[in-house]
Amino acid sequence: MILLTNELHMFFTQVIKKETAGLFEHALLTMLQCAENPAKYFAKGPMTRHLRVIVTRTEINMQYIKAEYHKKYNKNLNDAVHSETSGHYRTFLLSLLGPNH
């Protein structure tokens, strides 16, 4: 767990809100909350399914998740994210997903 002072947390939050908007802003604020206190983040309830999976599992076992997603839906996860999102939010999630193998 990353421990941020209240001042640092407020600073990051203000910068994100000033420099971004929409779903991209939401994604960055979600990452900040998850990094700061994962237990508190997950206790909040359901979120956008793509964001929740991608942010929490990136670099741990994403290739396995991609394989299972393809097996279940007969569609690549990258393609699903591309078709269901747009703008900076799409770019952000696709960069977290990495190459489509």
pLDDT: is 48 or 36 the higher one?
A: 36
Average pLDDT, the chain: 79
The answer to whether position 1 is within a domain reads no
The torsion angles phi and psi of 59, rounded to 5 degrees, stand at 70, -5
Cα radius of gyration rounded to whole Å, the chain: 15
In a domain, 13, yes or no: yes
Helix 87-97 × helix 22-36 angle, to 10°:
40
What pTM does this model have?
0.52
Q: What's the CATH number where 23 sits? A: 1.10.220
* pLDDT tens per residue across span 8-44: 888 999 999 999 999 899 888 888 887 777 656 655 5
Structural domains of the chain, count: 1
